[in-house]
Structure 1
Amino acid sequence: MGGQQLFQANPPPDPSELPNAILDWRIQLDTQNYLSSKELHAIQEFRKAANYIAAAMIFLKDNALVERDIRSEDIKARLLGHWGTCPGLTLVYAHANRLIRKTKQEMLYIVGPGHGAPAFLSCLWLENSLGVFWPGYGRTKAGLVKLIASFSVPGGFPSHINAQTPGSIHEGGELGYALSVSFGAIMDKPDLVALCVVGDGEAESGPTATAWHGYKYIDPAESGAVLPIVHVNGFKISERTIYGTMDDKEIVALFTGYGYLVRIVEDLDNIDQDLAASMQWALDEIHKIQKAARSGQPLVKPRWPVLILRTPKGWGAPKQLHGEFIEGSFRAHQVPLTEVKNDPEERAELQRWLTSYEPRKVLANGEPSAEVLSVIPEEDHLKLGQKKEAYASYEPLDVPNWLETGLVAEKGSEASCMKTIGEFLYEVVRKNPKTFRIFSPDELVSNKLDAVLRHSGRNFQWDVASRAQGGRVVEILSEHTCQGMLQGYTLTGRTGLFPSYEAFLGIIHTMMVQYSKFVKMAHETTWRQPCGSLNYVETSTWARQEHNGFSHQNPSFIGAVLNLKPTLARVYLPPDANCFLSTIAHCLRAKDYINLMVGSKQPTPVWLSPEEADKHCIAGASIWRFASVDDGIDPDVVLVAIGVEITFEVIAAAALLRKLAPDLRVRVVNVTDLMILAPQGSHPHSLLDADWDNFFTPDRPIHFNYHGYPQELRGLLFGRPRLCDRVTIEGYREEGTTTSALDMMLQNHTSRYHVAGAAIRGGAINNDKIKVREHELISEIKHMAAKDSEFINKNGDDPEGSFDLPKF
């Protein structure tokens, strides 16, 4: 009997009957005889085998099949792993296998409780996916012994699901992101269902709470579906979970309010019948919604299914020990028998526990029984551990030739970097209608990237104006959800872009770091194929957030990327619109990086032609001869500009110095690729020391005017020879308010006056003509800065002409 036929529709309750009537919204199914006795027994045998292997992995280094009594020397020196979630994960895996085998449904298995790695690995071994990617772990007794003995020891699989785990696109180390990753994974993959297990501890997190709205951004005509299973086992490390204290009425009310159809799976005596019927019902509901949308008669605001799976914490572990409850308590969260190596009573309990799974029957001679194998999909491409979407599905973008559309106006004309790349992104969207999306936290128009909306609009299915329009923009005011969706979309072969106000990218700092760790391990895993880069556009920066004030001024995300593994990290600060076009075109083609691009939405000068910008970006830095004295030959001081508004101040300082101190020989260098500054050999892009000297000289003073925090740049430069006494750095000093653009530069010592002052001090060291006038010149420059500051405070605006194009 199919799940759709079992569904009993209930009308919404009368508001006067709430809250008790909310229970009428529970989905009721007849589950008693859903599986045949043969199917039921096979599922139970699979679960026994998987749970045995998972538990053995936590404890045993020898005697892998318990062919004799367990001794102290059989126990690992360190007991690592989390048993508490494992029985639920193997239960879901077993039923996913049955459903895939029956329906041929394409599925990914995304696990929120990533610390349940033993459960995932045991199922991968049973279906032989582990052996396909890691031949030493084949489906033989030798492979099983190796899996059990090497888990959570050096050289073996770690205690968390990671990139070395076949079938995985999510680690789950930092909880809260599995659901949003799942939504990203199924976008533009209409035949795919992401089976997402959300732990009840994870469900307490803010990112998970917001991600429940993810279906409001899924068009069932063009994308697949997520089947969330909330695993409510009641406990965290030492405390009850919120969901574990909620009764059925509260759970149903919560998820009904989110917009879901709720099925609670909790019949422990009949759990396999219950879950089998429930998963079939959920898949039928998904197909019903998709069929309606794909036949041109979409359901308005469809209610997608969610399963609430209630099982005891650490189900199957010893119920009590030493007078304390184990199963069904927080003590089963990690290792239930912590003293098993030294305590004979605990070893005897472990013996009873492991043998209760009948390993000699379900894993006779170290190989799965025929009944266990009968649950597993027959086709390799359908097995959860061998889905190409998880490791080898990258589709390169058709990236337009930006040189054909670059700004060819006269140098010094102004353009917004964001408006310019917005037009370019419009073409990217047009050329890549199924492989490119923009994930934006409600700032696309504010950041002046709205040109893309001319083609496709937003993909907000709950908004009548956006529904079923094929929009390429997902705009939700949750950075966490945008990040999770971007990760899922990227790791399943597509390419995305995350534009944001600069100050608020820090919200997803740790998510980005977690992702980078996944990619780092993927680099070291030979069977993992490349995927697109994670691309951030950081705009509305502190330098032009004088209108929103101090709270919106924070460039710290640059430092977060700088701290990543050098093979992954890329930070670009293009100085104008043409350079930004070159940069974004490169980043959209690049693979396996974390790309951060920092720019401005306000009109700023276009310093370089398209051809010049292309060369500049390829090199990562160049000497700007037009702003330098004698093309920068034999300078007294080197001024380095890094960042859009910062570059303007350096150019303005160079022009000012031509008037005040014509005898000072200034070289202006612009850096667009921040990583070239790192010590030779420390980053793939870092300059050789000889090239460094060609840019910055071996011995002349250098002043860096930098968009980010000065300490970041000091750390990046550390290790370059001969820098200690000749480098000064200014950047964002945590100073600002609602003020003028020039005042922001003055307050943070990045203004043209501060740059000119640093140039005079540095130039005086080797230029006697400047040395004799040093105090006079510095005093004059300080006076000019004070007068401008006084004007700003009095008039609330910058002096007229402050941002006119500097003239040389």
Structure 2
Amino acid sequence: MPEAPDTRTVLSDEELRTLDAHWRAANYLAAGQIYLLANPLLTEPLAPEHIKPRLLGHWGTSPGLNLVYTHLNRVIAARGLDALCVWGPGHGGPSVLANSWLEGSYSDTYPDVGRDAAGMERLFRQFSFPGGVPSHVAPEVPGSVHEGGELGYSLAHAYGAALDNPGLLVACVIGDGEAETGPLAASWHSDKFLDPVHDGAVLPILHLNGYKIANPTVLARLPGAELDELLRGYGHEPIHVSGDDPTAVHRAMAEAMDTALDRIAAIQRAAREEGVTGRVRTPVIVLRTPKGWTGPAEVDGKPVEGTWRSHQVPLAGVRDDPEHLRQLEAWLRSYRPEELFDDAGRPVADVLACVPEGARRLGATPHANGGLLVRELPMPSLDDFAVPVDKPGTTLHEPTRVLGDLLERVMRDTADRRDFRIVGPDETASNRLQAVFDASGKAWQAGTLDVDEHLDRHGRVMEILSEHLCQGWLEGYLLTGRHGLFSCYEAFVHIVDSMVNQHIKWLKTARELPWRAPVASLNYLLTSHVWRQDHNGFSHQDPGFVDHVLNKSPEVVRVYLPPDANTLLSVADHALRSRDHVNVIVAGKQPCFDWLSMDEARVHCARGAGIWEWAGTENGGEPDVVLGCAGDVPTQEVLAAAQLLRRHLPGLAVRVVNVVDIARLLPREEHPHGMTDFEYDGLFTADKPVIFAYHGYPWLIHRLAYRRNGHPNLHVRGYKESGTTTTPFDMVVRNDLDRYRLVMDVVDRVPGLAVRAAAVRQRMADARTRHHAWIREHGTDLPEVAEWSWNA
């Protein structure tokens, strides 16, 4: 592909003056938010009573971010771009707030914070103040899709936003502290998955200001040639901007922006119009400016600008130290606010000369409020994919394979609109979802070999062996108005524990903002789960992600454990249609008994928990014991136990309750899906023994139900960290979740059975002993287990 022509940018004196005016105004507003409670325009000498009692926020990164915002404004306005910026340094909240206020998008969103002196004072007062806004680029900030409180995810979010957005430029400012994280380091590989035909462009801007909170940063201290080799190795062509002279930096930044965007336009034009398919290096801007640039050079005899001391609040004793107060006033007045704002506090024309209009403003782009763009997902009829169930427990299917057929249809039906993706760490086929490859291959822009399968330059299935990138891509994709599913081995989804924390917090806050429209939910399909990782062993056995998620905001999180293929279809249909949730679905990929017809599955999943009358022996009376279950393997073991009880203790009244929606166990006042005490007692009784077989760690069920009337009678079996490479049934035996142990629990806990059914209990214990001997001799499960089916 020919190189883009050399069109060096030459700023006129007028352009330079207005760009600098905008940048100075943003710097003034950023510093003002950190310090000022009143006197926003410095119309009177600065006094201690004008200063906030608690000085919070981060100055060090702000001038560099303001420079980027100013120059993005210039190219957006000049080129008529649709653009979004992901601000990696979350501590740069003052900058993004300042710029959104300058361009008017903040006042459009919050009319009580007008673009005048009163609005400026409110902008300053609310920052990091009780009842105000956080210091990070939080959901409250117009134009944001990334908080950055936890660093490492900005570039993955940026690429996710660009996917299937061919007309969008996504700029991404990466702080040099953030660049040291593992997720960010992996994110540089995202360029191997970006399709220049159907996707937008990502422009990384690596901001090197030299320091983190207290230490130097690795990339800032690398020799320039070594850093260039690193970035070129990742597939980027670096464009450098550096210095501390504002005039020179403005000129260099304008040239860098134009060079980068010309290069991106040439790449896209070659791919879209000329059919060029070879990979080329995409631009990255390396911006080196002093930390705390334009702030106090020295405080109390120690250097501040250009050092780690400028990271947060350069002048900490302003209310009590007259010299610090004098320095703060000199610093603020150095921006010459009287030139930047009129007597009413409105930005003057020079300040706004580079600002785009309407929805092209970074704070007003609908791509940062994806609910405005999201469309309903075309979900087919579940009846087209349901497995026939004439009698419970006589046929088997692989639930995720059945779901794969549904997902293939969704992928096919979104082929033209391109707003649905599946992501996962190299496990789509392993998790039995390979039917989707009939509708879309796997996104891939790097080299290919003849032996490769399903690789597709335009594919919408994304696989990379980094759960961080899968999560980050999908979050960026969803927050900009699309749909998706993250398929993962259950044990290894823990890698993104922190990321899902941040996303849940984002959604919780966004739901409370009336101007943020609901986005499609983040949907996890966790399979290859703990009970069917007997071949991989202990390292692959961990069901604790459910515990982690259920600690979070109840209005956001949902957890589903469908027991068979048809219930998985019903749950997946619900999750893919939902908004503003994080849905965790745990389902097996191994052959599993079919328990419910499609109509029964719909009703059961809508209830979330219910009695399976056909499995119990109540006969319309009151049960002697309740067998509860949640999860596919626990459900099978409970039904096998119910069958044994029917055979050996025919006079015992047994109720079987299956739980699909785990949050149903919570009280109604604790979770929207929770049951009232009346409903709970109706299912589980208030005073009968309840033996509950659960997919994960048993104490979760106790925690959810500890306030219920019958909690003293609740006995939970689940995974208790006893794992190894063994047979499937031995996994449940090792953790006391097996059918024989469940029958023994019934004998132990139903009053009067300990004596009357002692022989039954002994037979169950003997069966466990036979099991241990059998697997050590034959390496397979007992025939009575391996060949079991529900035939009562």
Give TM class, smaller chain: over 0.9
Please point out which of 719, 731, 742 is paired with 1:755: 742
Matched, 1:414 2:396: yes
5 Å matches for 1:113-128? 113-128=89-104
Stretch of structure 1 that moved more, 147-156 or 328-337: 147-156
Conserved? CA contact 1:631–1:667, under 8 Å: no
Please point out which of 14, 18, 35 is paired with 1:42: 18
Counterpart CA distance in 2 for 1:505 and 1:226 is 27
SS at match of 1:38: helix
Conserved? CA contact 1:406–1:581, under 8 Å: yes
- Partner residue in 2 for 1:447: 431
- Partner residue in 2 for 1:66: 42
5 Å matches for 1:383-782? 383-391=361-369, 392-411=372-391, 412-433=394-415, 434-464=418-448, 469-631=457-619, 633-720=621-708, 722-763=709-750, 765=751, 768=752, 770-782=753-765
Counterpart CA distance in 1 for 2:756 and 2:742 is 17
Counterpart CA distance in 2 for 1:626 and 1:296 is 64
SS at match of 2:712: coil
Conserved? CA contact 2:91–2:137, under 8 Å: yes
Conserved? CA contact 1:182–1:196, under 8 Å: yes
Please point out which of 235, 252, 267 is paired with 1:274: 252
Give 1:422's aligned amino acid: G
Conserved? CA contact 2:533–2:541, under 8 Å: yes
SS at match of 1:428: helix
Please point out which of 348, 353, 366 is paired with 1:369: 348
- Partner residue in 2 for 1:348: 326
Give 1:478's aligned amino acid: S
- Partner residue in 1 for 2:6: 6
SS at match of 1:6: coil
Shift of 1:718: 2.1
TM-superposition CA deviations, 1:661-697 (whole Å, max 9, x none): 2222111111111111101321111112222122112
Stretch of structure 1 that moved more, 775-784 or 129-138: 775-784
Shift of 1:771: 4.5
Counterpart CA distance in 1 for 2:378 and 2:588 is 26
Shift of 1:630: 3.8
Stretch of structure 1 that moved more, 281-290 or 789-798: 789-798
Conserved? CA contact 1:267–1:274, under 8 Å: no
Counterpart CA distance in 2 for 1:244 and 1:281 is 23
Counterpart CA distance in 2 for 1:759 and 1:149 is 63
SS at match of 1:738: coil
Counterpart CA distance in 2 for 1:504 and 1:604 is 22
TM-score scaled by length of structure 2: 0.96
- Partner residue in 2 for 1:11: none
Give 1:129's aligned amino acid: S
- Partner residue in 2 for 1:131: 107
Give 1:777's aligned amino acid: V
Counterpart CA distance in 2 for 1:777 and 1:733 is 26
Give 2:781's aligned amino acid: D
Conserved? CA contact 1:679–1:718, under 8 Å: no
Conserved? CA contact 2:563–2:632, under 8 Å: yes
SS at match of 1:700: coil
Counterpart CA distance in 2 for 1:773 and 1:284 is 85
SS at match of 2:785: coil
Shift of 1:367: 1.1
Shift of 1:84: 0.6
Superposed CA RMSD: 1.4
Give 1:462's aligned amino acid: A
Residue ranges of structure 2 left out of the alignment (5+ in a row): none
Change in Cα spacing, 1:345 to 1:645, as seen in structure 2 (3 Å) is: same
Conserved? CA contact 2:162–2:199, under 8 Å: yes
Give 2:761's aligned amino acid: I
Please point out which of 310, 318, 331 is paired with 2:288: 310
- Partner residue in 2 for 1:796: 779
Shift of 1:292: 1.2
Please point out which of 101, 108, 113 is paired with 2:77: 101
Shift of 1:631: 4.6
TM-superposition CA deviations, 1:614-644 (whole Å, max 9, x none): 1111111121122101456411000001000
Once the two structures are aligned, what percentage of the paired residues are identical? 43
Could you list the runs of 4 or more consecutive aligned residues of structure 1 that deviate by over 6 angstroms after TM superposition? none
Give 1:196's aligned amino acid: C
- Partner residue in 1 for 2:299: 321
- Partner residue in 1 for 2:120: 144
SS at match of 1:364: coil
Give 1:538's aligned amino acid: L
Shift of 1:469: 4.4
Shift of 1:793: 2.2
| Count of residue pairs brought into register by the alignment | 776
Matched, 1:154 2:154: no
Residue ranges of structure 1 left out of the alignment (5+ in a row): 8-29
Give 1:734's aligned amino acid: E
Counterpart CA distance in 1 for 2:364 and 2:205 is 22
Shift of 1:711: 1.5
Give 1:55's aligned amino acid: A
SS at match of 2:487: strand
Change in Cα spacing, 1:695 to 1:296, as seen in structure 2 (3 Å) is: farther
- Partner residue in 1 for 2:171: 195
Shift of 1:136: 1.0
TM-superposition CA deviations, 1:537-592 (whole Å, max 9, x none): 00000100000000000011101110111111100000000000000011000000
Shift of 1:404: 2.9
Counterpart CA distance in 2 for 1:463 and 1:248 is 29
TM-score scaled by length of structure 1: 0.94
Conserved? CA contact 1:636–1:762, under 8 Å: no
Counterpart CA distance in 2 for 1:187 and 1:342 is 52
- Partner residue in 1 for 2:314: 336
